[in-house]
Amino acid sequence: PPVVGPAHCLTPAPLLQALRRSVFKAVDQISNSDKTKRSANEKLKIIYCSRSSSPTRRLREEGELLSRMEEVAKTKNAEVILFEKKLDNGNMHTSSASLLKHVVDTVKLFRSASVIVGVHGASLANIAFARKSTLVIEMGF
């Protein structure tokens, strides 16, 4: 059947699945772990993908939203994790080891999330590494 919608934003599912498997395998080898399930006493993770450092699509009431998310998280034995684009002060000479660590940490974080919240855009690209059971809330403009 024909694909409906703009072709520039549709990545074939088999390609995404192969990418996920490859990344997960590499992360598991690097971190010497394949922990994907939460232990009974571990808090649920709610990730908020902030665009506060972006010039576009910033959420005006972000502070209010985060406060309310924290209130709800307390009632659910959960923690809210603020995920923001890390600006490296224009330093393009970051070591490959620190970049690799950042990628591994990011993949592990999104893989462990129960809920991911964010404004539509590139800030939500890491949902590609979330589990199928993760709830994703995308706010559009």
pLDDT, tens digit (0-9, with 9 covering 90-100), for 2-61: 545 555 557 777 887 888 888 888 888 777 655 556 566 778 999 999 888 777 777 788
* Percent of the chain residues topping a pLDDT of 70: 79
Is the predicted pLDDT of residue 117 greater than 60, yes or no? yes
* Distance (Å, whole) CA 32 – CA 35: 9
Average the pLDDT over 61-77 and give the result. Answer: 92
**Furthest-apart CA atoms within the chain: distance in Å:** 47
Average the pLDDT over 68-74 and give the result. Answer: 94
pLDDT computed for residue 1 by the predictor: 46
Strand partners, 82: 48
pLDDT computed for residue 94 by the predictor: 63
Using N-to-C axis directions, what is the helix angle for 96-112 and 13-31, rounded to 10°? 110
pTM given for the model = 0.76
Burial of 46 (0-12, 13-18, 19+ CB in 10 A): buried
* Percent of the chain residues topping a pLDDT of 90: 35
pLDDT computed for residue 88 by the predictor: 57
Average the pLDDT over 56-83 and give the result. Answer: 90
Smallest Cα–Cα separation from 129: which of 112, 98, 121?
112
- Mean pLDDT rounded to a whole number for the chain: 81
Lowest mean pLDDT among 1-10, 80-89, 109-118, 128-137: 1-10
Strand partners, 138: 118
